Amino acid sequence: MRSINDTPPISIRKNIALLKNDLDAKIPEKKLDQNLLIATWNIRAFGNLTRKWDSDETDSPKRDLHSVLCIAEIIKKFDVIALQEVKGNIRALRDTLKVLGANWSLILTDVNKGKVGNGERMAYLFDTRRVQLSGLAGELVVPEEWEDAINDGALTKQFVRSPYAVSFQSGNHTFILVTLHILYGKSPKSRVEELRGIAKWLSSWANSMNAYHHDLIALGDFNIDARGDLLDQTFLSEGLYVPPELQNEKVTRSIFNETKYYDQIAWFDGEGNGPKLSMEFLNGGNYDFVPTALKNRKLKNKNLSWLISDHYPLWAEFKV
């Protein structure tokens, strides 16, 4: 059985070098005391893996060591990244951490139980040379008092996968990330309650005088179908803001469908119901790994989605 610590075949080393060069050309570099790179990525069924360099048709799962090297190379470009669809089995995640090295750390939730929870966890990976935990970590729970607001469409049951809030510190600045994976459901309408619930929750927290900190950034898979649709409007209803750079139609979220608007990074900008984010937003975008990752294997997107993901990572750069 192969190990992630073994020396890869030369074809894989060449592919990783190609991927690294592409990442360097498209993602801003980390600059000490100048910038902060925050990302979110739904990595499809990020659980077990086959310990071969290249899996074949008979292997299950399809994700292999080559895939993990590509995933780790992408993650390296960011200071902190929220991951969705981390499964109960974290073999692939553990191997990813081995590739990232001793300067990287992890915090994650327990498994979401039940059929709709899909056996998923929420996780953050972060470069400890640039970002440290600052003390707060917890799942968002719906207050009982909100049940009285059912006529307004407020959430009256707990989130299927509880949003996970963690505070980080970069230099002298503290910020809270809240990652979530909204229920997909049988139709877009079934997602409205959770989207409105998370928007209401974040607005309430950001405006609270007793809040741990007011710099809140929501990120993750919101399962929004299209820019400006009912789901998008619901998500933004409490004053959350998505910068134009991340609303650009060229910043796609899915490797299968360019119109989908699933993943988001958003915050309060002072214009709506929440306070203004103190960090200055510089730039943002996605990273399209399809032309480069595993290029030597000439895979169709369906196969690539099980090896890397069906979502692109989405990132935002801030001035610190």
pLDDT tens per residue, range 227-249: 877 778 888 888 888 999 999 98
Q: Is residue 188 part of a domain?
A: yes
Residue 186 has pLDDT above 80, yes or no: no
What is the pLDDT, as a whole number, of residue 52? 96
Percent of the chain topping pLDDT 70? 88
Residue 220 has pLDDT above 60, yes or no: yes
Q: Which residue has the higher pLDDT, 225 or 251?
A: 251
Q: Is residue 2 part of a domain?
A: no
DSSP 290: T
What is the pLDDT, as a whole number, of residue 209? 45
pLDDT tens profile 57-106: 899 999 999 999 999 999 999 999 999 999 999 999 999 999 999 999 99
Residue 194 has pLDDT above 60, yes or no: yes
Candidates 117, 136, 67; CA nearest to 96 is: 67
Q: Is residue 20 part of a domain?
A: no
Q: Which residue has the higher pLDDT, 163 or 177?
A: 177
What is the pLDDT, as a whole number, of residue 151? 44
Q: Is residue 23 part of a domain?
A: no
Numbers of helices and strands, H then E, in the chain: 7, 12
Q: How many CA atoms lie within 13 A of 226 on its CB side?
A: 5
Q: Which CATH number covers residue 41?
A: 3.60.10.10
- Strands of the sheet containing 120-127, edge to edge, are 104-108, 120-127, 80-87, 35-46, 314-319, 280-286
Q: Domain containing 231: what range?
A: 35-319
Q: Can you say whether residue 171 is alpha, beta or left, with left for phi > 0 and alpha for psi between -120 and 50 degrees?
A: left
The number of distinct structural domains making up the chain is 1
What is the pLDDT, as a whole number, of residue 192? 78
The pLDDT of 208-233, averaged and rounded, is 77
Residue 254 has pLDDT above 60, yes or no: yes
Residue 107's CB is within 10 A of a number of other CB atoms, namely 14
Q: Is residue 30 part of a domain?
A: no
Which residues lie below 8 Å from residue 165, measured CB to CB, with a gap of 6+?
136, 137, 138, 139, 140, 176, 177, 178
Distance CA 182, CA 193 (A): 10
Enumerate the β-bridge partners of residue 221. Answer: 181, 263
What is the pLDDT, as a whole number, of residue 273? 59
Question: What value does the mean pLDDT of the chain take?
Answer: 88
Residue 311 has pLDDT above 90, yes or no: yes
Q: Which residue has the higher pLDDT, 180 or 82?
A: 82
What is the pLDDT, as a whole number, of residue 150? 41
Which residues lie below 8 Å from residue 23, measured CB to CB, with a gap of 6+?
73, 74, 77, 287
Of the ranges 10-14, 142-146, 185-189, the best mean pLDDT one:
10-14
